[in-house]
Structures are given as structure tokens and as C-alpha cells.
Amino acid sequence: MELTAIIAQLVFFVVAVLTLAAAFLTVLVRNVFHAALALVGTFFGVAAIYLMLEAEFLAIVQVLIYIGAIAVLILFAVMLTRGMMQSQESGTNKQWAWAALAIAVLFLGLFILILQVPWVHSGTAVYTDTTPYLGTELLTTYLLPFEVVSVLLLAALIGAFIIARE
Amino acid sequence: MILQIPLVYYLILAAALFCIGLFGALSRRNAIAVLMGIELMLNAVNINLVAFWRYGSPDPIADQAGVVFALFVITLAAAEAAVGLALVIAIYRSRDTVNVEEIDLLKW
């Protein structure tokens, strides 16, 4: 294996381990505020994965939407519902052991399945700026889904406003 | 750089992230932590979509289907987070708790 391949895989492993560690912290830490901060770390790791997949626009969107909007929204919700999570009771419910067992089986099944399927690599590795192509596709081929998802987002935001209003 | 990392690596990373998120959604007591688990699962699915687009499409530059799909998923995740957190805040106002074990009004 040549040197560049070794470096690429090393970078991938570092990013993957950091992402998974942050994800583990998100679901295991008892304090919900700390869990939300670990969630931000996971989002950054996923943005780095997008960059490695040469989807640079998606990486920027991930940082802007997930970290800039969703994570801040979650932090606000944690602060608005604070006070009751200061208690010493555990952060997990009674079924956590069963859930862990079922999920371990699920992951093992997925792992074996992924390793057995002969995946085809047909992508070419020529770098160009793909964002203009993405914009063209969004406003030609995917124009109707684009408009529908805009209306859905508007409806969801108005609904959220009405639900959360006093 | 792109083809020097096998597709399998991305798929296993996404599977692991999905399983961690599922564990969070199933085992946490706090409703906001459950929503965080759902966000992790949506992120894992997005990694899969982008990886399949990059490795599977014959012309990933002109054919942006995977990125478009991932963008729609991010939009839906934003909508889901807004409505879900609004529901959590509304429940906290009326019942003074965000513990999903105590929110059992509709349970049989």
C-alpha cells in the first residue's frame, strides 16, 4: 500500500474514533447538558466525514444547520427544562440492558452483512467544485421535492411555535 | 484520496453511529436525550447516503442525487427537532417533567 493510502486511512480512523467516542458520550453521560455538548462534537466529526467524501457543501451545511441551529435549539430546551435533572437518579430507564443486548445483536448482524456484500466502487476521484452542479440539480431535476420540503419546513416551524406558545 | 478508503469503512462507521443513537433513543429517561439519539441516527443514515453516492454513482459530479437526498434529510431533521423540542417544552409546562417514564397519559 502506498504512503498516501496509509495517511488517508489513518486520518479516517482518527476522525471515526473521535466521532464514535463523542456519540458514546452523548448517550452515556448522565447530565443532559454535557450530552448536548458531546452531540456537537459528533456533528463536527460527521462534517469531517462529509469532507472526506468530497461533499464539501454538505459539510458546511452540517456545521451551519446541525451545530448552528439544532444543537443550539437543544441547549435552549435543556436550559428551559432544567432543575429536575439535578437529581441523583440514573439517566437511563429500566429497559437499558435489554436495549443494549438487542442493539449489540443488530450491530453484529449489520457488521457481518456489510462485510459479506461485494460492494462495487465506480466513483472517480477527480476533484471539482460540485456546488454549482448541486444547485442546478436542485432547481431542475429536484424542483418539486425542493418546494415541498420548503413548505414542510414552514409548516413545522409554525406548528412548533403554536405548540410551544403559552 | 477518496478511493483509498474502502466503502466498507464508511458503512461500518455509519452502522456503529446508528446503533449508538438507537441505544440513546431507547434507554434515556430525559425526553431531550431521546431526541439527541434520534439526531445521531439521522446523521448515520446521511453518512450512508453520501458514501453510496460517492462510491456507487457512475458520475458523482453531474449526478448529485445522494447530496440532494442528504440535504432533504437534514431539513427534515431540523423540522423534527423544532417540533419535538416544542412538544417537550409544552409537556414540561403542563406536567412539570421531561422524564418519559412519567409521561404516560396515553399509555394503556
Angle (CA) B22-B56-B18 rounded to 5° is 5
Q: What 3-state DSSP class applies to A92?
A: strand
B104 in a structural domain: no
Q: Give the CA-trace dihedral at A106, A107, A113, A114, to 10 degrees.
A: 150
A100-143 pLDDT, tens digit per residue, is: 999 999 999 999 999 999 887 776 666 678 888 899 999 999 99
Cell of A165: 406558545
A100 in a structural domain: no
Q: Do A124 and B85 touch (CB under 8 A)?
A: no
Q: In terms of residue numbers, what domain contains B30?
A: 7-95
Beta-strand (E) ranges in A18-113? Answer: none
- What CATH code is carried by the domain that includes residue B12? 1.10.287.3510
pLDDT over 70 at B29, yes or no: yes
Q: In terms of residue numbers, what domain contains A155?
A: 130-166
pLDDT score for A131: 87
Which domain-ending residue is among A62, A82, A102?
A82
Work out how many CB contacts closer than 8 A connect A with B: 255
A104 in a structural domain: no
Contacts of B9 in chain A (CB under 8 A): 9, 12, 16
Task: Out of B13, B21, B30, name the one closest to residue A16 (CB).
Answer: B13
Q: Is B41 on the interface with A (CB under 8 A)?
A: no
Mean pLDDT, chain A, whole residue set: 88
Taking CA–CA distances from A16, the nearest residue in chain B reads B13
Same domain, A76 and A9: yes
Taking CA–CA distances from A112, the nearest residue in chain B reads B12
pTM for this predicted structure: 0.91
Q: Is B49 on the interface with A (CB under 8 A)?
A: no
